Amino acid sequence: MIGEFIESWPLFWQTYIASILMALVMSWLGVLVVTRNQVFIAAAIAQASLFGLALSLFMGFTYPILLVLLMSITSSILIGSGSHVANNTSEERTSWVFLLASCGSVLLLANQPNGLRQLQSAMASTIIGVTDIDVWLFAAFSIIALILVLALHRPLALLIADPVMAISVGMRFGLWILIISVSLGIVTGLAIRSSGMLFTFGCLVLPALAARNFCKEIRTMFLISPIVATSSVILGLLIAHSRDLPPGQTIVVIQAVVLLCSWIWKEIRTSLALSLSNIS
């Protein structure tokens, strides 16, 4: 299996490398999303990106990526940074964006069979089609994300865990949330364009959810989440190649299995801790 995979390297190296790099970046952002209890923000942003794609197809726009990015960044800021105009919650805004973007994109292309097919193809995962640009782009994102995580893991953890305390120690909460939202919008939008909604959503939430079950601190989640993400991508690519399966779906299924294992692990660990405390 591994021999065959290595043989396919010259043909698909962009796909393999880009998938790993995307998973890496998404897994770090996923920690911020999951620990802020905003799992569905990813689905809403992904759907908003598809709305941008549908809009560009509808308008015959030459550069669909611009509208995809515009929609994903706008939706991310709208949901993540919050709007106090009507005292609505993050969940309400997430639902609103998700439903409007889902229906809007289909309605826009309802009379364009070709456009609708492109939209459906983007909703499924097609990581085979990534380009050299995707590789370089996500390599740059990975390096930036790594530096930020290494330098700022503790302030980030405080920001997520206790915003009031973060403000009291002088952190500019609004600015930080805006930066996180914009980053999430850019990365999600670009990842969806390159790899589809399923792979992007999966890599954003599943490794971080698994890491939360394995870890006792946010700090270590920043280490475990990328390990889960990249190893599941490598394993998924190997299996998909040898069994001739779609790689995006295979990777997401593996990540879902890892999450299941992490739930079991957490349950066992909690039971053991309770038993030990009862004995002592």
Partner 1 sequence: MGYGRTVVLKEVTLRINQGEFWCFLGPNGEGKTTLIKGLLGAIRPRQGRIQLRRDFAKGKRVGFVPQECELNPSAPTTVREFILSGLVGLPIPSNVRRKRLERLLELINLKHKINSNFWQLSGGQRQRALVARALIRDPLLLIVDEPTAGLDLGAANNVLNMIQSLSQEFNITIGFVTHDLQIAARHASHAALFRNGTITSGPMETVFIDEHLTRTFGVPIEVTRTDSGKTHVTIKTITEKAGMDILSAQDETNADPKNQPPTTHDNNIISSLTDKGGPH
> Minimal distance in Å, beta carbon 166 to partner 1?
7
> Minimal distance in Å, beta carbon 25 to partner 1?
21
- Contact pick of 51, 212, 222, 233 for partner 1 (by CB under 8 A): 212
> Minimal distance in Å, beta carbon 182 to partner 1?
21
> Minimal distance in Å, beta carbon 32 to partner 1?
10
- 151, 245, 198: which is closest to 46 by C-alpha? 198
Contact between 36 and partner 1 per CB under 8 A? yes
Binding mask 216-245 for partner 1 (x = CB under 8 A): xxxx-x------------------------
147-176 residues in contact with partner 1 (CB under 8 A) are 154-155, 157-158, 160-171
CA distances (Å), origin 233, targets 46, 48, 53, 100, 155: 20, 25, 26, 31, 29
Residues 6+ apart with CB under 8 A from 1: 238, 239, 241, 242
Binding mask 75-104 for partner 1 (x = CB under 8 A): ---------x--------------------
For residue 38 the two structure tokens come to 């905003």
Size, binding site for partner 1 by CB under 8 A = 29
Q: Which lies closer to partner 1 via its Cβ, residue 194 or residue 262?
A: 262
Q: Which lies closer to partner 1 via its Cβ, residue 122 or residue 166?
A: 166
Stretch that binds partner 1, among 42-50, 57-65, 135-143, 211-219 (CB under 8 A): 211-219
CA distances (Å), origin 186, targets 36, 223, 267: 19, 22, 36
- Contact pick of 1, 13, 37, 110 for partner 1 (by CB under 8 A): 37
> Minimal distance in Å, beta carbon 34 to partner 1?
7
> Minimal distance in Å, beta carbon 228 to partner 1?
15
Q: Which lies closer to partner 1 via its Cβ, residue 160 or residue 197?
A: 160
> Minimal distance in Å, beta carbon 215 to partner 1?
6
Q: Which lies closer to partner 1 via its Cβ, residue 10 or residue 170?
A: 170
Contact 205, 40 (CB under 8 A): no
> What separation, in Å, do the N-terminal and C-terminal C-alpha atoms of the chain show?
50
Residues 6+ apart with CB under 8 A from 176: 159, 166
The residue ranges that bind partner 1 (CB under 8 A) are 34-37, 84, 154-155, 157-158, 160-171, 212, 215-219, 221, 273
